[in-house]
Amino acid sequence: MAIGQRQPGGVIHHSEQGSQYTSLAFGKRCQEAGVRPSMGSVGDAYDNAMCESFFAMLECELLDRRRFASQAEPRMACFSLIEGRYNPVRLHSALGYRSPMACEAAMEDVTAEPE
């Protein structure tokens, strides 16, 4: 979704060494999308700290609080949380206490060519 909407360059997809991420199909899809895959070493949790933090937030703030009647409901709930609050509003210490969208906008301002 991020690639389709924002069309970023220099994207790195960091993951664990699960079979879905080491598959040839996943590697091919990354290549097609211009994404560089990156994997942590076995048993090393430090390189996944930001992802772990995100999924802990998702579980705590959304999934632990309700039951869903259909598969469509959690998809919409996750979308609403991510696009409605997490990306535009929630402040992140790793981003200098800015939201992801504010950080992205600041990076675009820095890399934009002067007219």
Domain locations in the chain as residue ranges: 1-44, 49-115
Q: How far apart are CA 63 and CA 78, in angstroms?
A: 9
Helices (H), 16-93: 19-22, 24-33, 49-61, 72-81
pLDDT value for 52: 76
Q: Residue 40 half-sphere exposure, CB side, CA atoms within 13 Å?
A: 15
Q: Please list, in sequence order, all residues whose beta carbon lies within 8 angstroms of the beta carbon of residue 61, skipping any fewer than 6 positions away.
A: 81
Q: How far apart are CA 84 and CA 78, in angstroms?
A: 9
Per-residue pLDDT of the chain (115 residues; tens, 9 = 90+): 778 877 878 888 888 788 888 899 999 999 999 999 888 777 766 666 777 788 888 888 888 878 999 999 999 999 999 999 999 999 988 899 999 999 988 988 877 666 5
